Amino acid sequence: MSPGIQKVEASDAGHFVRVEWEDGSESRYPCVWLRDNCQCPRCFLRSARARKLVFEDLDVNIVVKEVALADRKKISITWPDEHASEYEAEWLKKRCFSEEARAEMQEDLFLPECQYWGSDLQLPKIPFEEIMYNDESAYKWLCTLKKVGIVLLTGAATRQGELVKLGHRIGFLRLTFYGPTWQVQDKVDANNVAYTTGKLCFHTDYPALQYPPGVQLLHCIKQTAAGGESEVVDGFHVSNKLKKQNPQAYQILSSTAVDYTDVGVDYCDFAVQCKQRIIDVDSRGQAVRINYNNATRDTVFDIPAEKVRPFYAALKEFDDLLNSPEHKFTYKLKPGDIVTFDNWRVLHGRQSYQSGSEVTRHLEGAYADWDVVMSRLRLLRKSILNRD
């Protein structure tokens, strides 16, 4: 049921419009926002869902000339220049400026719910074929990926190219200097530490890029008999632990710009350089992205000498927490498994394995950006909820 409007009036010397709803609640809308978001054809291009009104033409001190309740489902406003605007009740209600309404809208747009985990992780599993051909399963996959940070897809074919199909399912893959997809296996003169048989410590991929890939996809095509186990840890959960345990260490890691570098030749030749904070935080000080890769952390360090040792001490404490048995989860990929995880949140590693005369372990990898993943998630959500 869409909400009904009981009463509408101008307030605060015409700078606000106050709406009383039939359910007894009240909303206040700034007039500058209402004029900016006029939905008429002159101000809004409906086919593109985009604003046509030029900002330089907007009077930030605008007041209403007249406001009226057209019916219980719509209000109409006449502005000082006689321009007329109409606003649907349902549209207004969703955009109410109350703290509760804003929180509800943000939750609907961004699905911020986060389920933290440690060594007790119950690794979510969904058959690959289901998410490829069933929208409800694809929706469940992406919702779980957003909430938990990791989902294992099972039963894919053991050949290269399955990740390209997965990319098409969500939209498209992220191209990087290592190609649209890349092969994780033991290579002579490896241009990446992942292309060896050695142990890989916990890391996020590609902090050397200004905008690191949001989601990583790893498809197991061949697995070694001994060793090669995968390890993951919830970086947000560990960051919260560090913040409680040592606020000063958290402050150092969330404020110090660390130099990252990656130089070589693959899809093309590259020389990448970037500064990242180990723990990126939002305006509330909450971790929103982990940028930690010990292999590509540069020898160049652009901070005063006296701040170096405190930084190392803070990073060591964070690294110790990452490697704590209570926080890390270990599993072994089987041929046909595709692990999908949040590269901004989940740090991953690998146990070493023996090299041989032929390739004994082969994973194909790819990236996707969160913008692409969230776009598909919103579209699937709308489709499925409207169906209900």
**Position 126 pLDDT exceeds 70:** yes
How far is 202 from 93, CA to CA, in rounded Å?
46
How far is 177 from 266, CA to CA, in rounded Å?
6
Beta bridge partners of 279: 290
pTM of the predicted protein model: 0.94
Mean pLDDT calculated for residue range 132-139? 98
User: Which residues, including other chains, have CB under 8 Å from residue 40's CB and lie 6 or more apart?
Assistant: 83, 84, 85, 86
* pLDDT tens column, 351-363: 998 887 788 899 9
Q: What is the mean pLDDT of the chain?
A: 96
How far is 26 from 8, CA to CA, in rounded Å?
10
Domains 5-100 and 125-385 share a fold: no
User: Which residues, including other chains, have CB under 8 Å from residue 227's CB and lie 6 or more apart?
Assistant: 351, 352, 353, 354
SS3 readout for the chain: CCCCEEEEEEECCCCEEEEEECCCCEEEEEHHHHHHCCCCCCCEECCCCEECCCHHHCCCCCCCCEEEEEECCEEEEECCCCCEEEEEHHHHHHCCCCHHHHHHHHHHHHCCCCCCCCCCCCCCEEEHHHHHHCHHHHHHHHHHHHHHCEEEEECCCCCCCHHHHHHHHHCCCECECCECCEEECCCCCCCCHHHCCCCEEEECCCCCCCCCCCEEEEEEEECCCCECCEEEEEHHHHHHHHHHHCHHHHHHHCCCEEEEEEEEECCCEEEEEEEEECEEECCCCCEEEECCCCCCECCCCCCCHHHHHHHHHHHHHHHHHHCCCCCEEEECCCCCCEEEEECCCEEEEECCECCCCCCCCEEEEEEECHHHHHHHHHHHHHHHHHHC
**Position 388 pLDDT exceeds 60:** no
**Position 188 pLDDT exceeds 80:** no
Using CB atoms within 10 A of its CB, is residue 81 exposed (0-12), middle (13-18) or buried (19+)?
A: exposed
**Position 258 pLDDT exceeds 70:** yes
Instruction: Quickly state the pLDDT bin for 1 (edges 50, 70, 90).
Output: low
Mean pLDDT calculated for residue range 28-32? 98
Sketch the domain layout of the chain as residue ranges.
5-100, 125-385
Q: The CATH number of 5-100 is which of 3.90.25.10, 3.40.50.970, 3.30.2020.30, 1.10.10.60?
A: 3.30.2020.30
* pLDDT tens column, 141-173: 999 999 999 999 999 999 999 999 999 999 999
Domain 125-385 has CATH 3.90.550.10: no
* pLDDT tens column, 66-93: 999 988 899 999 999 999 999 999 999 9
Beta bridge partners of 217: 340, 366
